[in-house]
Amino acid sequence: MSSAIEMTLTQLRDALAAGAVSSVEATRAYLDAIAARDGTIRAYTQVFAERALERAAAADAARAAGRPGGLLAGVPVSIKDNMCTDYGRTTCASRMLEHFAAPYTATAVRRLEDAGAIVLGKTNMDEFAMGSSTENSRLQQTTNPWDPARVPGGSSGGAAASVAGRLCAGALGSDTGGSIRLPAALCGCVGLKPTYGRVSRYGLVAFASSLDQIGPLTRTVADAALLTEVLCGHDPLDSTSVAQPAPACLAELETPVDGLRVGLVREWVSDRLDPQTHQAVDRAVGALSDQGARIVEVSLPHSRIDVGRDGALSSYAVACYYIVATAEASSNLARYDGVHYGHRTAEAGEDIVEMVSRSRAQAFGDEVKQRIMLGTYTLSSGYYDAYYLKALKVRRLIAGDFHRAFEQVDVLLGPTSPEPAFAIGAKTADPLTMYLTDVFTLSTNLAGLPAISLPAGLSREGLPLAVQLQGPVFQEPRLLRAARMIERALDLGAMIPPCVKGLPS
């Protein structure tokens, strides 16, 4: 394994700045790793090898001429395939956009490149970000680097797999209900969902506009802090972008939060949930307690998780989310009609209605069709008040629960996923069981809060376990410092999947 690949993103940045390694060397090392391992992992939908090497050479030349570049000068990264770029294609892992070439680049991607990052390629995802396992991709099946028979999580499964599989130094994903944090948890990475509005959504192909947020997936908390600093900031091209400067996340990252108050959500504790998940949370609690944190029990009644006699989970938040998200998806995806955007059927029809129907039937996968139909139904005359309007009221109650909890504590601590990575195909026959995979993550999106998932050990099967921290709006620096306290205390070392171990240096 190349020494450049062994480095974390921040270590590589420092090595590049010191001249210990060149950007071309690092980029070639990652491209070689992609060639060697991505045939099994299948994280990438597109690789921009020639463009990446050209930009790497330009970064090296600029540094040699005394122009060191930005915070990420020469660092190779990947981006999720739902972020527009004026190079390559933006497919959203869908046949609907299989050949779509965007005329502009998303603000988040542009900020990475303006900081000097080298985009290696775009990563696989659930179609239009609708899924929790990346099994809904219409292009390919991404596997978990820890076990190729298991899912990487979703919808940013390709992004997480590219980080865990050492196929990039860091990645961008998007999070609508846990789509950064869940794959981070299942692949043994760090994944941060910033506060809604912190990172521009301009150029992100919309799934649910009031929930979507772009964020980083990395190997360490410090790497996530660095990418967050680069990504955040007001963007006049996005009407939901907050008019606040980018937070300083790295400056005090190593300083523990003095007197940290940590909230444990009583509704998320049950003897019938996966015991290894609880053990991971207990380890994180112990790590924070040993550093002087005060542990407080709090309540989020409208995010309560009920466990039935059959072991099945249920939650108000899940029901609320899948009404709000599908309603917004129905509206956002109406533009893909074969006329304005996307696939157009080659079959002749009697009129435009038949043409549009055939185009959408051919190009959308089953999960996307299911969510469009559900969302259209909840917005229909006679059902709007009973479903959508009621869901908005529950969403307000969920946000109110968080607001009251943060009057008592600084951060909330709990699980990210109900269980470690599950087998490919294990949940595809039961959509409800799949939806409940996000039971610990989606309430954060409904409330618009920042949250971070980080590794907390390995299961008996050698699969990553993770914990999640949630914080008040715009408190990413505090959240990252608390996460670093856990990371430093647990001292897990390099979380290296078996597919990466043993490769030559």
The pLDDT tens digits of the residues spanning 57-92 come to: 999 999 999 999 999 999 999 999 999 999 999 999
CA distances from 22 to 67, 360, 423 (A): 14, 47, 39
pLDDT of residue 310: 58
**Confidence label for 503 from pLDDT (cuts 50, 70 and 90):** low
Question: pLDDT tens across 85-134, in order?
Answer: 999 999 999 999 999 999 999 999 999 999 999 999 999 999 999 999 99
pLDDT of residue 501: 74
pLDDT of residue 502: 58
Whole-angstrom distance, CA of residue 41 vs CA of residue 149: 10
Say which of 2, 80, 241, 330 is annotated catalytic: 80
pLDDT of residue 124: 98
How far does CA 185 lie from the centroid of its chain? Answer: 10
Q: Compute the average pLDDT of residues 33-37.
A: 97
pLDDT of residue 4: 93
Residue with tokens 């601590």: 413
Say which of 179, 330, 417, 443 is annotated catalytic: 179
Write the CB contacts of 388 (distance below 8 Å, at least 6 apart in sequence). 323, 324, 327, 378, 379
**Confidence label for 311 from pLDDT (cuts 50, 70 and 90):** low
Residue with tokens 């985009």: 119
Question: pLDDT tens across 340-365, in order?
Answer: 889 999 987 788 999 999 999 999 99
Is residue 429 pLDDT above 60, yes or no? yes
Q: What tokens does 43 get?
A: 């994280």
Question: pLDDT tens across 437-482, in order?
Answer: 999 999 999 999 999 999 999 999 999 999 999 999 999 999 999 9
Is residue 195 pLDDT above 60, yes or no? yes
Give percent of the chain with pLDDT exceeding 70: 96
Q: Compute the average pLDDT of residues 302-306.
A: 79
Is residue 147 pLDDT above 60, yes or no? yes
Is residue 304 pLDDT above 60, yes or no? yes
Q: What tokens does 63 get?
A: 């540094």
Whole-angstrom distance, CA of residue 267 vs CA of residue 284: 18
Say which of 155, 162, 330, 417 is annotated catalytic: 155
Q: Compute the average pLDDT of residues 250-277.
A: 88
Is residue 271 pLDDT above 70, yes or no? no
pLDDT of residue 312: 54
Considering the chain, what is the average pLDDT of its residues?
Answer: 94
**Least confident window among 23-32, 153-162, 312-321, 368-377:** 312-321
pLDDT of residue 349: 78
Q: Is residue 80 annotated as a catalytic residue, yes or no? A: yes
Query: Nearest 5°: CA angle at 195, between 105 and 133?
Result: 70
Beta partners for residue 305, in sequence order: 315
**Confidence label for 268 from pLDDT (cuts 50, 70 and 90):** confident
Is residue 491 pLDDT above 80, yes or no? yes
Q: Compute the average pLDDT of residues 379-384.
A: 91
